[in-house]
Chains A and B, each alone.
Chain A
């Protein structure tokens, strides 16, 4: 069986779904971040496979930008978690419920 672009797309959709469901289901902020990373990396798979099938370098170029942005997001996100954990060790997303209405 030959691996066509469609298979890579299916892989990317699977990874994206795992990430999206993980973010909604899990309550640990760190695991939620990892889920976001999964989603962004599934986008990278999609970009590369599209780029290959279109024979266009643009898709691979986009991956660089996505990687950089993902790294930046992690930096900011971890800083936020550290700031919160200083006051509330072992906080989960459910414990953060000062804002309800």
Chain B
């Protein structure tokens, strides 16, 4: 009976594991950590510190081996050793020693060290992908044609990895201080990053949606993680309801685009749109509009921004750092991938909509920011106005615009994590002291902290010699090149308006007088891990602000591509 059945072999897609390495590291790291902690709740403290210290070298070795799988020729397998190899081994041992020393001297917990190690390994494997595959062979597809690994995706993967590492360092002390112990936040952070990586490299609309949901659902929970603050749970619920609402819009848009083009694969959609002229494109345009609404919610573009201030104020501050940096970056990566690259031939249809969104976002974000009393709400509105700037780059729909988006996303990641790192430290137990009154006189109490915060705020305002300035120049240059002159003018004007907001915080810190209680209270404790985060963000902001060429070159090389299935 069975002999008559004609078994046609099911064609399984070709999986290019090399391109998946950062994703596997982030997702696998999350699974490993939650499995480990579900078996071992508490290690005896002497083992804990040993294991923690070992995490640094383990991360370096893992990064090395996994990066090797990602396409790098392992020197260990080489037949002959020349001077370069010897130098490599010496350097490797030095990096191991430094990593162990850094982790040990930071006095951080095992979970933090592990998450930091995972993010480091993901970053290194992304870097190896970049130098050994992308710049040599160009972009390629990873799972069938559903995941595209191109320069754009790899750079955004790197941004995600960096954001995970920095946020994990911030979480370390925060979790102890607030007494909300547990490993969940680290696990959710890594899962969320894995979703972000999928979004940045999605070659299919359904894959994009899955990535977005992996990213968002983890962040809904993260926002509500501070179980002792009702505001945190309220923020989680608000974010959840509006996030689900926006996902539904995005998904409906995907359905319409599928109906109009006959595919959910970006490569197929683009070749369809390039080679066919639709006699009736109502369905397609409705799909564009709905997808724009859905992604607009995620990146907090006006008029879809209403959740941002509430959620930023209520959510735990390190989580806000993550939301403002990586979640926003992933949203823009998706916008560029879908609109600029895939719907490029219909740009005359969607550009006006993005134009209007960008102007509304810029104006609303900067004007409403000025009237806030809470620093977290202020930075929420400022993040809205930054989203407006990035939208200016998207609106240009050109290679230069895309490079500007990459540069802005990379620079803003460090800026905003640095800013929220300072707020995490000053917010004190209960995560409440973030009003302007609480910041009054910070310069007397904690001069270094106030100075770092000032630099981050000035960089956000776009003061020269910071990455924020270069980023703004890049997007405005892209807008001018695309002949969107009014947009460029509005962007510059709102940059001036929003500098009031940053100056208000700076004035509070330097001119304002500390209240009696603030002076009487014990001096704000700055954990070493937070110092490291603020230090890294500071160095990147100023260093690449003075010498922007390396990031600039990286952003220009990070070209989004849709490689036809071969």
A interface residue numbers (CB < 8 A to B): 9, 16, 19-20, 23, 29, 32-33, 36, 39-40, 42-43, 46-47, 50, 53-54, 56, 58-59, 61-62, 65-66, 69, 72-73, 76-77, 79-81, 83-84, 87-88, 93, 96, 98-101
Q: Which residues of chain A are within 8 angstroms of B251 by Cβ–Cβ distance?
A: 40, 43, 66
B contact residues, range: 35 or more
A83 touching B241 by the CB < 8 A rule? no
Q: List 24 A-B contacts (CB under 8 A).
A: A32-B241, A36-B241, A39-B252, A40-B251, A47-B255, A58-B263, A58-B264, A62-B258, A69-B247, A72-B213, A73-B244, A76-B217, A76-B221, A76-B240, A80-B220, A80-B233, A80-B236, A81-B237, A83-B224, A87-B230, A96-B238, A98-B230, A98-B314, A99-B238
B230-267 CB contact bits vs A (8 Å, 1 = yes)?
Answer: 11011111101100110110011011101100111000
What distance in Å separates the Cβ of A1 from its nearest Cβ neighbour in chain B? Answer: 22
Stretch of B108-116, B346-354, B369-377, B550-558 on the interface side = B369-377
Q: Which residues of chain B are within 8 angstroms of A62 by Cβ–Cβ distance?
A: 206, 254-255, 258, 264
B238 touching A36 by the CB < 8 A rule? no
What distance in Å separates the Cβ of B239 from its nearest Cβ neighbour in chain A? Answer: 9
Interface of B is mostly: helix
Q: Which residues of chain A are within 8 angstroms of B217 by Cβ–Cβ distance?
A: 72-73, 76
What distance in Å separates the Cβ of B72 from its nearest Cβ neighbour in chain A? Answer: 34
Given the known interface contacts A58-B263, A69-B210, the answer about A29 and B310 at a Cβ–Cβ threshold of 8 Å is no
Q: Does B395 contact A (CB under 8 A)?
A: no
A80 touching B237 by the CB < 8 A rule? yes
Cβ-Cβ contact count across A and B, 8 Å cutoff: 119
Q: Which residues of chain A are within 8 angstroms of B374 by Cβ–Cβ distance?
A: 101
Task: Please give me the residue from chain A that is nearest to B251 by CB atom.
Answer: A43
Within 8 A of A (CB), among B310-353: 310, 313-314
| Docked CA distance A36–B240 (Å) | 11
Q: Does B104 contact A (CB under 8 A)?
A: no
What distance in Å separates the Cβ of A56 from its nearest Cβ neighbour in chain B? Answer: 6
B241 touching A23 by the CB < 8 A rule? yes
| Docked CA distance A51–B237 (Å) | 34
Within 8 A of A (CB), among B150-184: none
